[in-house]
């Protein structure tokens, strides 16, 4: 199940640098998440886009590993795209067809 992570613009920009593998550490990893799911990132109250999860290690410091080349920017503006800041993660709250 896809998740959303809220972060700051500098961190997202760093994760989007070309041709690198990135990781995201989580103290409490999602129970319904697996390799191949999407990790959406929200910045300044708006979901920006997503990466595909390449590897998932719930018991490791490097919990989620993804390629920066898998970044997919969201097209257009959608009602579900806006959110208030939060800690940790949230499961995706919209349908795939709405993208």
What CATH number is given to the structural domain containing 67?
2.30.130
Range(s) of the domain holding residue 80? 3-92
Task: State the pLDDT at residue 56.
Answer: 98
Query: Would you place residue 98 in the very low, low, confident or very high pLDDT band (cuts 50, 70, 90)?
Result: confident
∠ CA 60-57-65, rounded to 5°: 100
Q: What is the DSSP letter of 14?
A: H
Torsion of CA 48, 79, 95, 20, to 10 degrees: 0
Q: What is the DSSP letter of 82?
A: B
- Give percent above pLDDT 90 in the chain: 87
- Give percent above pLDDT 70 in the chain: 100
For residue 98, tell me if it sits in a domain: no
- For the chain, what is the domain count? 1
Per-residue pLDDT of 7-50, as tens digits, reads 999 999 999 999 999 999 999 999 999 999 999 999 999 999 99
pLDDT, greater one: 75 or 25 = 25
Q: What is the pTM of this model?
A: 0.93
Distances (CA, A) of 99 to 48, 56, 76: 12, 24, 9
For residue 38, tell me if it sits in a domain: yes
The stretch 51-78 carries a mean pLDDT of 94
């Amino acid at each position: 199940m896809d998740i959303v992570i809220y972060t700051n613009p500098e961190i997202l920009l760093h994760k989007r640098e070309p041709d690198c593998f990135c990781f995201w550490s989580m103290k409490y990893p999602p129970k319904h998440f697996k390799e191949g799911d999407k990790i959406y990132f929200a910045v300044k109250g708006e979901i920006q886009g997503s990466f595909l999860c390449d590897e998932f290690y719930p018991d490791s410091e490097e919990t989620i590993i993804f390629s920066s080349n898998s970044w997919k920017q969201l097209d257009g503006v959608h009602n579900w795209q806006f959110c208030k800041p939060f800690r940790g993660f949230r499961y995706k709250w919209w349908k795939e067809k709405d993208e």
